[in-house]
Amino acid sequence: MTFLNPTDVRLEREANHPPTLILAGDRYMDIHIRQAFPLTSEHTYVAFFDREDQYLGLIINPDKLDEGSTRIIKDEIGWRYFSPQITEIISMEDRGGKAGFVTVTDRGKINISMKNLRESMVELSTNRILLTDEHGNRYEIPDVNQLDRHSKRLIRRLI
Amino acid sequence: MPLTSKIPSSLGETLHRKLPQDTKIRFACPTDMTQEGMFGESMLLVTTRHLVIASKKVDVWQLLHSVPLSDITHLKIEPLVGASAFTVTVNGQSVRMLRYSYASAEDMSEAVESLVHLIGKEHTDEDHFPIHEEPASDWSSRAAHLRTFRRLWVFCEPHKRSLTLAILVTISSSAIDLLPPYLTMILVDDVLTNPLRYGWLPLIVTLLAGSRLIHTGITIVSGRMLAVLGDRLAFDARSELLRVLQLLHLKYYDTQQTGGLMARIARDAKSIHYFWIDFAPQVIQQTLLVLGMTSVLFYLNWELALLVMIPIPAIIFASVKIKTYLTWFYGRSSDSWATFFDRVNDALAGIRVVKIFAQEERQSIKMHHENEKVFQAERNIHIRSRTVRPILAFVVSIGGLLVWWFGGEQVQNNEMSLGMLMAFFMYLAMFYGPIQQLTGMADWIPEMMTAITRTFEVIDSPAEEYEPPNAVTLPRIEGRIELKEVSFGYVAHQPVLKGLNLTIEPGEMIGLVGHSGAGKSTLIKLLCRFYDVEQGQILIDGIDIRRISLTELRSQIGYVEQDPFLFSGTVTDNIRFGNQDASKEKIIEAAINANAHEFVMKLPDGYDTLVGERGGRLSGGERQRVAIARAILHDPRILILDEPTSALDLETEKKIQEALGRLMQGRTTFAIAHRLSTLRDADRLLVLKDGAPVELGTHEELTAPQREYYRLVKLHTNVSSIVGVM
């Protein structure tokens, strides 16, 4: 079977432990989850892997599961995919391709420095930008239009 | 075209003298080599009764051979190295008729084919040319230039209104320029020297300032208009180039290097911008200025104006000479840039190979060498143009000196006012300025025209014929393929495939086996219609492949290459390359069937992961499986597999094998097979040797010791076991 049937899937967890998957009656402890399209269809295509990193299956729209399982999946995604969202750009400088941004994100204020602006900035879709800093950390601007005027003016120079 | 080639009149006379009076020429084909193997003019002529070879020696045409057509039993084109030879058999003996370079190869092939046809049928007197014909006029460069100009206009036509407006604004700024010298004359003659009019001073200065201000404003407006228009035109030209590059025949890419093409897109397309923005408006503005200033100068003082004209012929003559002189250097410069781009492109694309072989230094030296050539070519231009321009400027200044001398005398004798002399000088600067500008532009022309012509050369290259006339629609190919006497060669008359006959039933899998160079890949290229068969036919569901709409044909062919090419973009982008509307579920399904899903899911961004240039961030086995997923989603009716020769690890190999098995189900499949398992799975195997089919049958049938197939398999398994041991 290509995709898992939501009625066969249930998740449980104890605090601070990786979740357990109950798949058609079989229990898999310490599973982890990955998304098929973490950037373009977040929270929609979720795959389960067992303790040995063996693929167990993929479920479309985990919202169809019971509330507890949906919650666990959401938490797990939040735990695995750390991608702060930029809410404000305070300043920006570009020294021959090497760039520095001072930003405010939903996870706090951060200075982002990038080695190569051209390669570090990806426009995922119109007005949606992904920045990767020189250490490989990632930051997202979900919608340029939602930024304040000053931030918008700064980022528009680059896109 | 050989059949329409005209006979030079001097050759006509020779023919008249040497051949019977009633002789008529059926057709002729000019070639480019003399009997001695020097470049020169030769000609193959077919008359009513003879095959004649003529060659030009020191401006005189000589007949080298004249063979009665009825004595010829065999004609042959023999490929040499760097040239070809045309030989005929006359009364059982071979006679070497003619040698020619590859430049004449296509025409000669056509001519010889016509000749074969002619000898094979009854001789008729139709289709002949009279002997006396004026030589076809040379390709006139003026006509070519005119054509280029016409093409340039086509690019500009959609924007003609804004261009006209911009040019009008530019011209009006020149008109404003006429004012300041006139005001200066009034200032010097009437205001500064006449105490009664001292009060006019603020007014005149205000007028001067006003005219300057208006001039500045107009210059800004026209500059901005032209700049926007220019970028738009460069954009249009690049778009057109990029569109055409996708449609061009593969043959074109066989002869072009990517670096050269990149240079064209980046630099040459910009030349159209230069033409319309910098060149055309300048020429119009400056020409009008020259005409306007000439009238003003003559109006002010006709004697002085005449003196001013003295250096003009010298300036024009020198400019024309300089232009011709510099054209050559610009050509070299653009060549060296193209080679430079090629080398750099090559070196960067192959950087891994360079590093593995520790050839960084040699590569650097090589690139340095190309860079030096660019440097020399550029230096050649700049040294020359920087020498020539000051000399021209000196010639121009002679006019000014004459005005000082004779104008000065007139002022001393009170024949002219000082103000007028000053105004005359100011107008003179405005007269010589444009003349110098115009002559300076003379050395833009060659560079620009070369670049523009090259841009059009790409745009005009023949595109593939996507919808042949009377195209047959085949919305769903069943998959019955017939090869009938298929012959093909990349170079005319050097066949790579010879007389191939085979019928493949829908859903059948054919394994292609043979040494490298046996013609396996060529056969596949013919099936994809990257090339057309030279002789014979390929039929799909009973229809000649050349009559099927190309878009429809290729949309139903799937191709998994030996080393699959992935585009930079995400895994998703690559899997749905042939089927843009595919849903994410379908993409995952295809990946699962291609055994790609698991590894994709383990990539940090899953299907959203960027694969890098050419898929470089994935391993060879991963690239293979993404390519198989791409083919599965494309859902082709005919599948072509080119198995990689390099061995992958056993597990990956097994996964790919499984994936391929799923992909082949229900599709007519051609596989260039290297793996024994594929050979065993094939319904039939076609063994090719030197382009000819030697064996056809199943793996079991062909596994007999004396067979070619057996030999190949044995060789292969021996090699594999050695690799295994290592």
What is this model's ipTM?
A: 0.87
Please state the φ and ψ torsions of residue B268, each to the nearest 5 degrees: -65, -40
pLDDT tens-digit series, residues B486-523? 988 877 667 888 888 889 999 898 988 888 778 888 88
Nearest-angstrom CA–CA distance, B230 and B212 = 26
Determine, for residues A38 and B601 on separate chains, whether the beta-carbon distance falls below 8 Å: no
Mean pLDDT within B677-687: 82
Q: What's the pLDDT at B647?
A: 59
CA distance A105 to B284: 57
Contacts of B582 in chain A (CB under 8 A): none
3-state helix, strand, coil in chain A (%, to 5): 20, 40, 35
What is the pLDDT at residue B642? Answer: 83
Q: Each residue of A86-106: pLDDT tens digit?
A: 999 998 887 766 788 899 988
* C-beta atoms of B602 and A45 within 8 A: no
Cβ-Cβ contacts under 8 Å, B592 against chain A:
2
Q: Average of pLDDT values for B246-269?
A: 72
In three-state secondary structure terms, B57 is strand
B106 touches chain A (CB under 8 A): no
| Pairing relationship of beta strands A86-95 and A98-105 according to DSSP bridges | antiparallel
Could you count the other beta carbons within 10 Å of the beta carbon of residue A159? 11
Nearest CA in chain B to A57: B598
B186-203: average pLDDT: 86
Q: Do A37 and B598 touch (CB under 8 A)?
A: no
Q: What's the pTM? A: 0.66
B585/A60 touch (CB, cutoff 8 Å), yes or no: yes
**Quick one: pLDDT at residue B209?**
93
Interface contact flag, B588 A3, Cβ < 8 Å: yes
**Quick one: residue B579, left, alpha or beta (phi over 0 = left, psi -120 to 50 = alpha)?**
beta
Q: How far is the C-alpha of A44 from the C-alpha of A41, rounded, in Å? A: 6
Contact A37 B584 (CB under 8 A): yes
What's the Rg (C-alpha) of chain B? 36
Q: How far is B576 from chain A (nearest CA, A)?
A: 14
B610: contact with A, CB 8 A cutoff: yes
Q: Select the residue of B592, B602, B605 nearest A2 (Cβ to Cβ).
A: B592
pLDDT of B122 over the 50 cut: no
Q: Inform me whether the C-beta atom of residue B584 falls under 8 Å from chain A C-beta atoms.
A: yes
Q: Is the pLDDT of residue B694 over 80?
A: yes
Cα–Cα distance for residue pair B509/B516, rounded to 1 Å: 21
pLDDT for B132-166, tens place per residue?
333 333 334 556 667 777 777 877 888 888 888 88
Distance CA B597, CA B165 (A): 59
Residues facing B34 on adjacent strands: none
Least confident of B129-138, B175-184, B279-288, B430-439: B129-138
Q: What is the mean pLDDT of residues B581-590?
A: 92
Of A36, A49, A60, nearest to B606 by CB-CB distance is: A36
C-alpha closest to that of B162 among B285, B279, B277, B286: B277
Determine the average pLDDT of the residues in B340-368: 82
Interchain CB contact of B383 with A (< 8 Å): no
* 8 Å CB contact of B608 and A40: yes
Chain B: residue whose CA lies nearest to A124 = B608
What average pLDDT is seen over chain B? 81
**Euclidean distance between CA atoms B534 and B522, whole angstroms:** 12
Name A114's bridge partners: A99
Dist CA B41 CA B39 (whole Å):
7
**Across the interface, which of B592, B598, B608 has its CB nearest the CB of A39?**
B608
Q: Which of A50, A55, A82 is the best substitution to test chain B (most B C-beta atoms within 10 A)?
A: A55
Residues B269-276 have a mean pLDDT of 76
pLDDT digits (tens, 9 = 90+) for B37-72: 787 889 999 888 889 999 988 888 888 888 888 888
A111 and A105 in contact (C-beta within 8 Å)? no
